[in-house]
């Protein structure tokens, strides 16, 4: 387990490094960031001034080193638009996004896993079909459109929920459903296939041959093994949810990091965009790292090797 | 040894229907593939013959005829069956032209990313060792970057246009191709005839193209189908956020974005393109899932 | 001798697209206290389904019918699933063929050993643990106490099968069903495990149904033998009778495939008899073995064959008279 953890950690660090390079260099894709900041109407002199002011005239690798060494210390520079430290800005927005993604994940797990289990217990039954239909529709539903429809429905036609904003917990209900629904199908399908596979395993027959209660067979022997792959996918989905939060937060005007990303992209606020890409990616790296460990811990074949 | 005739199985029981027959039967017997296929066919015809089907020009504005409701409203009329938008453009025509954009982007993105991803996956699966390590690492890196955020940032920097959207998404969505092709290639590579081709001294390129590629086509097609859906969805999201296809092009995502200011009083402006998107995505997904069942029935359920 | 297990006219039918598969066709047998019944027969003849039918563990689509199915005088036919579960692992336990996959990889040996006892008996975890250690030692596992904390993947196949045996014994069952418990193991370990099983069975005076391919083992551990072919019992009798005087041409064929008793190689497998097993779908006409039988005559294809009694309680399913059959057996032995 120790060797395993160490290996995973090295991999995670390598990925983090690569991503920091990528997210830094991404902004030079446009060619000249100084021109982009200055805007279309700027004169050559103005652009030149901005270039020296932000240090864009120095070699790129030097800029990267400086950026990354500051970033490690938690300093991502100042936001061009908001005029405050990027770190502070992001930290102030993170709770909203984490609340949203967390509750959406909980929603997806609470809906997806039981539905997957039931679908696997009664394959081809009505429940299985309903679950499958929900899954297929979920994959085809554009989240921003679904969000708008829910806003029309519950924000205005049957006005029981606030349509936008992030002031109270009620504001999180609709976004949670939209974002959670998005992750439900894959969790459900995975639980279903996992359960079907596990239920036909020899050790389930052994458990039944011992005369164990059906619930013991189901929860202790089957589910435990079936959810192992679900755990890692749930972690991955959680990462995707953070990405998806950009769309959802924009539609619902939830002032989290996703909304911040959209705002700063529209305003060519480079330091904030760079920082956000790095933070989102690192979050994903950490998540997969944790889920790998969790997986190993759930599976004694890896844990006790 | 006495052999009686009663127990000898018939020829049919041994040979059964040919693989081709069986595949055809599975394709046509599979409801998902059928429904998805029919919808998709209609969509493709709509895209191809948009100028013939559309009742009006999708770009002609008519400020006098702004926000005409669809025909099922009391005030609607058959001149504009789906009404008009905030600039008085015929909504039906825009919706019909919109399928062109979605399909064009979906297919070209899948094409670009299929080439990138398959090349990486094939190399990783075929050569293994260090090549595999590098490719796996690249896949991991790619997976950790949030697609929408990166796409938005890049599009915002380079400036949005159809080509930019296609290239950015194409460069981002290769991961699934690489993952699937890698494992499919590994499986095929382990098979006897590939080993014998290597033993016979065939060149790597020859083995990859004549022995391996034909045998990994099935998963490739399935992933490509699902990736088309993914690209269509992402284009719509980008356009919705204002950083995808630019006006006045009738992208469904963009239409929803333009219509959302009128969401309370003219909800059809967002309902109609949204439904179209949903139906198109549903059809592509049904095709993809169905094809997975059909080509690899043993993996089903 | 007290009867533990009595089976009369057990049938297992599996409805399939192409018709109903009659996997087990009206078989009847019994097992006494302290007795070992070996069921032998080719692959696919219905041995596993027979044992699963007794345990009530058939696949959901399979249909079980029987005139009589009783364990220690208790009628199993009328029990519902919950009542059946009360019996499984308690009065009747089963050992499966695949030790590598029959244990749950997520739980320790100790946990999996204890759970059956905690389910069926009023014991606390400590008592269950004591019993597990006692039985692990009984099945020849050293350092039993420390094994309890290990996971299945840390044990070899032979050890896992010993664990499976200990697990079956946890509640002190009257009856053990072992379905090819050694097929997946190395030849040397196979013999050890089977001897272990036979010894434990003697010691605890259980009934044992042992399904096996290994005629060498049958000769050594069985009291009685039932030979199955195409879902039917084609011959049944004491191990001495079956080996010395096989009446059914199929049994004779099986035995011809092993060398002279005494020199029988350990792990000798059923040899192959030329020909194909008839399809189990739909009804059979005439003798099921007719297409492979060296003694078949015209009636064999048309007349349904019932089990008939020979001397000494031996029964066989063949149209040939006892004299003719004995004659064939003698020829077969000298051939
Ligand atoms: N779940 C099932 N569905 C359909 N047919 C089945 C099923 N299980 C078993 N059968 C069929 O029933 C027959 C008897 O199977 P069974 O497993 O009892 O054979 P067996 O004597 O144990 O063979 P082996 O020595 O290979 O274990 C076989 O022809 C098999 O194909
Ligand atoms: S009944 Fe006929 S075919 Fe069947 S075993 Fe006896 S002799 Fe052979
Ligand atoms: Mg069997």
User: For position B161, which CATH number holds?
Assistant: 1.10.3720.10
Nearest-angstrom CA–CA distance, C177 and C168: 9
Interface test with B, best of A265, A271, A288 (most B CBs within 10 A): A265
pLDDT band at C29 (very low <50, low <70, confident <90, very high): very high
pLDDT band at C176 (very low <50, low <70, confident <90, very high): very high
Q: Classify residue C274: in a domain, yes or no.
A: yes
Q: Classify residue C277: in a domain, yes or no.
A: yes
Q: What is the mean pLDDT of residues A233-258?
A: 86
Ligand 1 site residues (CB inside 6 A) read C 14, 21, 23, 41, 43-49, 59, 280
pLDDT for the residue A289: 85
Q: For the whole model, what pTM was predicted? A: 0.79
pLDDT for the residue C10: 94
Q: Classify residue C317: in a domain, yes or no.
A: yes
pLDDT for the residue C271: 52
pLDDT for the residue C272: 61
B201 three-state secondary structure: coil
Q: Classify residue B69: in a domain, yes or no.
A: no
User: If you compute the radius of gyration of chain B from its CA atoms, what whole number of angstroms results?
Assistant: 24
Pocket of ligand 2 contains residue C300 by CB under 6 Å = yes
Q: Classify residue C260: in a domain, yes or no.
A: yes
- Tokens 């896993």 belong to A113
Pocket of ligand 2 contains residue C296 by CB under 6 Å = yes
Q: Does A62 touch chain B (CB under 8 A)?
A: no
Touching B (3+ Cβ pairs <8 A), the chains are: A, C
pLDDT band at C258 (very low <50, low <70, confident <90, very high): low
Nearest-angstrom CA–CA distance, C322 and B93: 91
Q: What is the mean pLDDT of residues C62-83?
A: 90
Q: What is the mean pLDDT of residues C111-125?
A: 92
Residue B211 has phi, psi (to 5 degrees) of: -105, -45
CB contact under 8 A, B2 and C276: no
The C-alpha torsion from A189 through A192 and A196 to A201, rounded to 10°, is 100
Number of domains in chain B: 1
Whether C265 has a pLDDT exceeding 60, the answer reads no
User: What spacing in Å lies between the alpha carbon of A7 and ligand 1's midpoint?
Assistant: 45
Helices B147-158 and A224-252 cross at an angle (nearest 10°) of 30
Q: Does B221 touch chain A (CB under 8 A)?
A: no
Predicted complex ipTM: 0.86
Q: What is the mean pLDDT of residues C230-257?
A: 88
Q: Which residues of C touch A121 (CB under 8 A)?
A: none
CB contact under 8 A, B9 and C279: yes
- Give just the sign of the alpha carbon dihedral C99, C102, C105, C107: negative
The CB-side HSE value for A69 (13 A sphere, CA atoms) comes to 6
pLDDT band at C268 (very low <50, low <70, confident <90, very high): very low
Measure Cα distances from C53 to A189, B138, C50, C108 in Å: 32, 53, 5, 29
CA C120 from centroid of its chain's CA atoms: 24
Which residue from A minimizes the CA distance to C56? A209
Q: What is the CATH number of domain A91-270?
A: 1.10.3720.10
Alpha-carbon gap: B279 to the closest alpha carbon of chain A (Å): 8
Task: Enter the tokens of residue C233.
Answer: 């019992």
Which residue from A minimizes the CA distance to C119? A212
Q: Classify residue C48: in a domain, yes or no.
A: no
Q: pLDDT tens digit string along C136-173?
A: 998 888 888 999 999 999 998 888 988 999 999 999 89
Q: pLDDT tens digit string along C179-232?
A: 988 887 788 888 888 888 888 888 888 999 999 877 888 888 899 999 999 999
Nearest-angstrom CA–CA distance, C305 and C319: 6
Q: Classify residue C275: in a domain, yes or no.
A: yes
Nearest-angstrom CA–CA distance, C235 and C242: 8
Give the whole-number percent of chain A exceeding pLDDT 70: 95
pLDDT for the residue C270: 45
pLDDT for the residue A13: 87
Strands C36-40, C207-211: pairing is parallel
Nearest-angstrom CA–CA distance, B294 and A231: 29
A84 three-state secondary structure: coil
Residue whose CA is at the smallest distance from ligand 2 atom 5: C318
Q: What is the mean pLDDT of residues A146-168?
A: 79
Task: Write out the residue range of the structural domain in which residue B36 sits.
Answer: 22-56+89-299
Whether A55 has a pLDDT exceeding 80, the answer reads no
Nearest-angstrom CA–CA distance, C87 and C78: 13
Q: What is the mean pLDDT of residues A222-237?
A: 84
Give the whole-number percent of chain C exceeding pLDDT 70: 93
Number of domains in chain C: 1
Name the least confident of A91-100, A209-218, C179-188. C179-188
Residue whose CA is at the smallest distance from ligand 2 atom 7: C296
C176 against B79, higher pLDDT: C176
User: What spacing in Å lies between the alpha carbon of C44 and ligand 3's midpoint?
Assistant: 7
- Is residue C169 classed exposed, middle or buried when 0-12, 13-18 and 19+ CB atoms within 10 A define those classes? buried
Residue whose CA is at the smallest distance from ligand 1 atom 14: C46
CA C318 from centroid of its chain's CA atoms: 23
pLDDT for the residue C209: 94
pLDDT for the residue C263: 45
Considering every ligand atom, which ligand is closest to the CA of C61? Answer: 1
Q: Classify residue C281: in a domain, yes or no.
A: yes
Helix (H) or strand (E) holding B67: none
Name residues of chain B where pLDDT drops below 70. Answer: 1-29, 71, 76, 296-301
């Amino acid at each position: 387990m120790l060797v395993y953890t160490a290996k995973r950690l090295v991999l995670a660090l390598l990925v983090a490094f690569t991503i920091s390079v990528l997210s830094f260099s991404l902004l030079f894709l446009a060619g000249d960031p100084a021109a982009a900041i200055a805007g279309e109407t700027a004169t050559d002199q103005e652009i030149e001034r901005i270039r020296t002011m932000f240090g864009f005239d120095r070699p790129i690798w030097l800029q990267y080193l400086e950026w990354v060494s500051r970033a490690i210390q938690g300093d991502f520079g100042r936001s061009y638009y908001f005029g405050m430290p990027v770190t502070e800005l992001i930290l102030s927005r993170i709770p909203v996004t984490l609340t949203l993604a967390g509750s959406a994940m909980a929603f997806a797990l609470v809906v997806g896993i039981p539905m997957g289990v039931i679908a696997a217990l009664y394959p081809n039954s009505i429940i299985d079909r309903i679950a499958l239909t929900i899954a297929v529709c979920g994959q085809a539903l554009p989240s921003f459109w679904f969000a708008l429809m829910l806003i029309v429905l519950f924000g205005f036609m049957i006005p029981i929920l606030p349509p936008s904003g992030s002031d109270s917990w009620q504001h999180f209900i609709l976004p949670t459903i939209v974002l959670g629904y998005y992750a439900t199908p894959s969790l459900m399908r995975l639980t279903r296939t996992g359960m079907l596979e596990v239920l036909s395993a020899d050790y389930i027959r052994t458990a039944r041959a011992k005369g164990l209660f059906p619930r013991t067979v189901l929860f202790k022997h089957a589910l435990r093994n079936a959810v192992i792959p679900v755990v890692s996918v749930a972690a991955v989905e959680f990462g995707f949810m953070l990405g998806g939060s950009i769309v959802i937060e924009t539609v619902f005007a939830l002032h989290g990091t996703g909304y911040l990303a959209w705002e700063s992209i529209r305003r060519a606020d480079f330091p904030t965009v760079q920082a956000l890409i790095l933070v989102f990616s690192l979050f994903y790296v950490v998540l997969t790292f944790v889920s790998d460990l969790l997986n190993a811990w759930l599976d004694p074949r890896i844990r006790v090797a | 040894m006495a052999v009686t005739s009663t127990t000898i199985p018939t020829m049919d029981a041994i040979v059964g229907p040919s693989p081709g027959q069986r595949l055809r039967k599975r394709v046509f017997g599979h409801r998902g593939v059928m429904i998805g296929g029919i919808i998709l066919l209609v969509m493709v015809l709509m895209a191809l013959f948009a100028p013939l089907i559309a009742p009006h020009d999708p770009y002609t504005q008519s400020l006098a005829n702004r926000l005409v409701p669809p025909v099922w409203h009391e005030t609607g009329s058959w001149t504009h069956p789906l009404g008009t938008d905030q600039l008085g453009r015929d909504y039906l025509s825009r919706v019909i032209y919109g399928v062109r954009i979605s399909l064009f982007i979906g297919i070209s993105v899948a094409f670009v990313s299929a080439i990138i991803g398959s090349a990486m996956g094939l190399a990783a699966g075929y050569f293994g060792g260090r090549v595999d390590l590098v490719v796996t690492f690249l896949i991991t890196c790619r997976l950790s970057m949030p697609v929408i955020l990166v796409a938005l940032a890049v599009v915002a920097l380079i400036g949005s246009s159809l080509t930019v959207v296609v290239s950015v998404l194409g460069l981002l969505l290769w991961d699934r191709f690489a993952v699937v092709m890698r494992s499919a290639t590994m499986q095929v590579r382990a098979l006897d005839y590939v080993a014998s081709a290597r033993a016979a001294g065939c060149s790597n390129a020859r083995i990859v193209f004549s022995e391996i590629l034909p045998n990994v086509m099935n998963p490739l097609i399935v992933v490509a189908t699902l990736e088309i859906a993914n690209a269509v969805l992402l284009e719509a999201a980008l356009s919705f956020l204002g950083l995808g296809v630019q006006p006045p092009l009738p992208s469904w995502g963009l239409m929803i974005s333009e219509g959302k200011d009128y969401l309370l009083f003219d909800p059809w402006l967002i309902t109609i393109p949204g439904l179209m998107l949903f139906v198109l995505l549903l059809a592509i997904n049904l095709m993809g899932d169905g094809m997975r069942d059909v080509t690899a029935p043993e993996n089903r359920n | 001798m007290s009867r533990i297990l009595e089976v009369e006219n057990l049938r297992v039918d599996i409805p399939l697209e192409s018709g109903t598969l009659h996997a087990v066709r009206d078989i009847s047998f019994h097992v006494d206290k302290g007795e070992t019944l070996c069921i032998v027969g080719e692959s696919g003849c219905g041995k596993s389904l027979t044992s699963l039918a007794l345990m009530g563990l058939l696949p959901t689509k399979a249909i079980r019918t029987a005139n009589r199915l009783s364990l220690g005088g208790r009628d199993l036919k009328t029990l519902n699933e919950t009542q059946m579960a009360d019996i499984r692992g308690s009065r009747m336990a089963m050992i499966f063929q695949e030790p590598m996959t029959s244990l749950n990889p997520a739980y320790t040996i100790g946990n999996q050993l204890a759970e059956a006892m905690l389910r069926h008996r009023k014991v606390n975890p400590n008592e269950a643990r004591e019993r597990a250690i006692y039985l692990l030692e009984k099945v020849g596992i050293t350092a039993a106490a420390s094994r309890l904390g290990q996971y299945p993947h840390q044990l070899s196949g032979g050890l896992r099968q010993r664990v499976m045996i200990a697990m079956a014994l946890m509640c002190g069952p009257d009856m053990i069903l072992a379905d090819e418990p050694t097929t997946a193991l190395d030849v040397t370990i196979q013999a050890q495990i089977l001897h272990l099983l036979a010894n434990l069975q003697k010691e605890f005076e259980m009934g044992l149904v042992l399904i096996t391919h290994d005629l060498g083992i049958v000769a050594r551990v069985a009291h009685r033998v039932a030979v199955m072919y195409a879902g039917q019992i084609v011959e049944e009798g004491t191990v001495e009778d079956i080996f010395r005087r096989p009446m059914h041409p199929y049994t004779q064929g099986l035995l011809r495939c092993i060398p002279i008793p005494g020199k029988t190689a350990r792990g000798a497998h059923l040899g192959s008899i030329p020909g194909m097993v008839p399809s189990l779908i739909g009804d059979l006409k005439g003798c099921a073995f007719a297409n492979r039988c060296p003694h078949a005559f015209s009636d064999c294809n048309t007349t349904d064959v019932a089990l008939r009694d020979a001397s000494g309680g031996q029964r066989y399913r063949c149209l040939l008279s006892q004299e003719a059959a004995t004659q064939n057996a003698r020829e077969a032995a000298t051939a």
